[in-house]
């Protein structure tokens, strides 16, 4: 048998090696490159770092101006306050504190907190929080203990609810007051609806009455924008019939009835808007025409709050009505109802109950919301990372990355605003933008949609190509190796011989 020449055999061996190298070096990247899913690089470490250190990164240092008749060093007050704060709330850490400054006389008490200490001949030390501005007046008999008293007033009165809310946020406790609060948005719709039980037309002077809300909403305009709409709906029956209670001479709504009071299916309540809607409903029962009132058990103002949704008031007309004539709800009748709604609005937006001063309330709310938004935004970014890490087949589009980066940028800006300028209204806007972008990143359409080409599918389609080629090449390589081994052993034998 004619043995092949050595060079030909070498060429054949080289061919096997070159083809194997080509398939591995060119084919595999090509296959990988054409069938792989795009996964943008997300800033994993940055998000984790921000999430774990949020409580330490953000530092609320609320400037408080001290006005004392004769100048005393601020440091003693500061020290007294710090001791008091760390004693009462040791978990708070560096997150929240107050910085005392002496008054430079140019302070606007609507913008900044001002503590005025007055010496008075009173038996007991007392204080007064202005209902309009951020001014706190303190009356003390003895100046030596004034520091202690100022600290206790601030910690236990002025900022009590704020600190508690912040603490419940940091410790992830689901506080009752927080669950009634609407999720934060920079725009809200407020809808006042008059739901009439029967089909007798009613005029309501809502256009004039609503003016009551304008100053309130104007003051909130830094916090969020509100757009108001009103509507009247007739033939709005309850989903459940309410029985007449002879004892009370009224239709009585029990607390258990309130959960099913709103007939979501039938009443026109939907809004095709991305922004959350706060609903205020005035229900006008048909029994008004029989002069039979409705009562809500345990409610003086005949109204109740629906958490994260809105408020309801049941309207009882005082005078008996005639069915054939058009009824008018006058401004005088509506104003008390709208006052109830305005306090419900504060509750729904998450304002603290005390102190009553609106500027303090808004200030407090913006700090709490800033922290809450940042926390939520980082939480959703963290869960985004979890999702992308656990699903290796999910695609991460460039847009998601963009939104993540934007969200992080805004979060950093918000933190910066708080730490450097203590500018809470700007920081709440930034934090809400961060939240919005983190939601967008998470719900990016291309990412959420199912992987179009799962890897099993990919393999199944290309198996007719990959299978034979792979097996041919691997067999070729095996043969090559065995040939080389054989040659070597032969060469050895020849040598030894």
Partner 1 sequence: MLISVQLWSIVLLMGSALAGEFYNETLTLKPLPRNKLLSTFNFDINSSPFTLQYYNSSIDKRENHHYTYFPRALGPILESTNVRELHLRFTQGWWDSDSWGKLPFNGFKSGGTGVEVWSVIEAPNIEIAKENWYKLSKTLSGFFCASINFIDDSITTFPKHAIKSYNNNNNNNRKYYSNKSNKLYLIRAALPSEPICTENLTPFLKLLPTRGKSGISSLLDGHKLFDSLWHGMSIDVYTDCENENQICKFKMNQSVNHVIDIMRSIRKGEEGAIPKPTPGEKLRCDENKTFNVWQCFPLNDPTELDWSLETLYGRLINGPAFLNDHTGTTLKVLTNRDYWRVTAKQNRKDSIVTYTLAGEENTLTEILHDQAKYDFNFKTTDSSQVLPVEIPPLLVSRSLTGYSLDKGGFRVSFKNPSDQDSIDFLYFESLPWFARLYLNTLTIKIHNSTGEFSGKELESEFIKNTYYRPAIDRSRPSHLELLISIPANSTIILTYQFDKSLLLYHEYPPDANHGFAVEPAIITVLDNQGKDIYELRTTSLLLTLPTPDFSMPYNVIIMTCTIMSLMFGSVFNLLTKKVITEEELEQISSQSKGAKIVSIIRQKLAGLKGKKTAKTTTTTTTTQTEPTKEPEPTEGTSTSVQPNSYT
Residues of this chain that interact with partner 1 (CB under 8 A) are 1, 4, 8, 12-13, 15-16, 19, 189, 191, 198-201, 203, 205-208, 210, 221, 225, 227-235, 266, 268, 270-273, 323-326, 331, 461-469, 472-473, 476, 479
Q: Which is nearer to partner 1, 193 or 427 (CB)?
A: 193
From the CB of 291, what's the least distance to partner 1, in Å?
Answer: 17
Residue placing its CB nearer to partner 1 in the complex, 171 or 324: 324
Instruction: Establish whether the linkage from the previous residue to 355 is cis, with ω within 30° of 0.
Output: yes
Cα gap 11→6, rounded to integer Å: 9
In the complex with partner 1, which residue's Cβ is closer, 60 or 283?
283
Q: Do 192 and 269 meet the contact criterion of CB atoms below 8 Å apart? A: no
Q: What's the min distance (Å) between Cβ of 202 and partner 1?
A: 9
Helix (H) or strand (E) holding 64, with range, is: strand 60-68
Taking the complex as a whole, the smallest distance from the CB of residue 227 to partner 1 amounts, in Å, to 4
Minimum CB–partner distance for residue 333 and partner 1 (Å): 14
- Nearest distance in Å: CB 288, partner 1: 13
Question: Between 329 and 418, whose beta carbon lies closer to partner 1?
Answer: 329
Q: Which is nearer to partner 1, 180 or 225 (CB)?
A: 225
Q: Quick check: 128 and 135 in contact, CB under 8 A?
A: no
- Residues 461 and 399: beta-carbon distance below 8 Å: no
Rank residues 236 and 302 by Cβ distance to partner 1 and give the closer one: 236
Helices marked H in 391-423: 398-416
**Residue 111 Cα to chain centre, angstroms:** 26
**Long-range CB pairs of 387-395, under 8 A, 24+ apart, other chains included:** 388/39, 388/42, 393/37, 393/451, 393/454, 393/455, 394/37, 394/39, 394/447, 394/451, 395/37, 395/38, 395/39, 395/446, 395/447, 395/451
**How far is the C-alpha of 321 from the C-alpha of 25, rounded, in Å?**
90
The residue (of 152 and 185) whose beta carbon lies closer to partner 1 is: 185
| Residue 192 buriedness (CB in 10 A; 0-12 / 13-18 / 19+) | buried
CB of 193 to partner 1, least distance (A): 8
Q: Which is nearer to partner 1, 1 or 123 (CB)?
A: 1
Is 448 or 461 the residue whose CB approaches partner 1 more closely?
Answer: 461
Residue 173 Cα distances to 180, 339, 412, angstroms = 14, 31, 25
Closest approach, Cβ 171 to partner 1, in A, equals 37
Quote the least distance from Cβ 167 to partner 1, whole Å: 34
- Asked whether the CA dihedral 257, 262, 263, 265 is positive or negative, the reply is negative
Round to whole Å and give the CA distance between 238 and 462: 61
* Smallest separation, CB 272 to partner 1 (Å): 5
Q: How many residues does the chain have?
A: 497
Q: How far is CA 361 from CA 149, 165, 350, in A?
A: 22, 13, 9
């Amino acid at each position: 048998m004619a043995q092949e020449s050595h060079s030909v055999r070498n060429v054949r061996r080289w061919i096997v090696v070159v083809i194997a190298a080509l398939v591995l070096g060119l084919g595999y990247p090509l296959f990988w490159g054409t069938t792989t899913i795009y996964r943008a690089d997300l800033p994993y470490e940055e998000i984790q770092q921000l999430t774990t250190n949020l409580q330490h990164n953000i530092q609320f240092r609320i400037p408080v101006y001290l006005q004392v008749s004769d100048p005393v060093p601020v440091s003693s007050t500061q020290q007294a306050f710090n001791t008091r704060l760390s004693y009462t709330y040791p978990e708070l850490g560096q997150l929240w504190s107050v910085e005392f400054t002496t008054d430079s006389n140019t302070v606007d008490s609507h913008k900044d907190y001002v503590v005025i200490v007055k010496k008075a001949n009173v038996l007991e030390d007392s204080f007064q929080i202005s209902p309009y501005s951020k001014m706190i007046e303190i009356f003390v008999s003895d100046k030596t203990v004034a520091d202690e008293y100022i600290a206790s007033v601030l910690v236990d009165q002025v900022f009590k609810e704020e600190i508690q809310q912040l603490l419940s946020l940091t410790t992830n406790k689901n506080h009752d007051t927080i669950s009634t609060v609407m999720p934060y948005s920079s725009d809200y719709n407020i809808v006042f609806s008059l739901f009439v039980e029967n089909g007798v037309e009613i005029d309501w002077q809502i256009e004039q009455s609503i003016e009551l809300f304008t100053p309130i909403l104007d003051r909130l305009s830094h916090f969020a924008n509100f757009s108001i709409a009103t509507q009247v709906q007739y033939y709005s029956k309850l989903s459940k019939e309410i029985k007449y209670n002879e004892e009370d001479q009224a239709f009585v709504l029990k607390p258990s009835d309130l959960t099913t009071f709103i007939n979501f299916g039938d009443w026109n309540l939907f809004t095709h808007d991305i922004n959350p809607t706060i609903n205020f409903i005035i229900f006008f029962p048909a029994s008004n025409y029989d002069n039979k009132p409705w009562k809500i058990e345990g409610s003086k103002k005949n109204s109740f709050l629906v958490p994260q949704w809105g408020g309801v008031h049941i309207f009882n007309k005082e005078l008996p009505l005639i069915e054939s004539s058009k009824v008018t709800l006058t401004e005088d009748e509506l104003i008390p109802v709208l006052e109830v709604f305005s306090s419900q609005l504060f509750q729904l937006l998450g304002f603290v109950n005390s102190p009553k001063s609106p500027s303090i309330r808004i200030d407090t709310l913006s700090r709490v919301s800033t922290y809450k938004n940042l926390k939520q935004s980082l939480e959703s970014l963290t869960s985004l990372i979890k999702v992308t890490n656990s699903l290796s087949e999910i695609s991460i589009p460039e847009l998601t990355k963009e939104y993540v980066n934007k969200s992080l940028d805004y979060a950093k800006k918000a933190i910066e605003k708080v730490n450097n300028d203590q500018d809470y209204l700007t920081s709440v806007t930034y934090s809400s933008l961060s939240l919005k972008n983190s939601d967008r990143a998470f719900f990016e359409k291309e990412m959420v949609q199912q992987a179009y080409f799962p890897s099993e599918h990919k393999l199944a389609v290309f198996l007719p190509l990959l299978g034979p080629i792979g097996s041919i090449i691997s067999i070729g390589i095996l043969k090559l190796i065995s040939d080389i081994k054989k040659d070597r052993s032969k060469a050895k034998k020849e040598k030894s011989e």
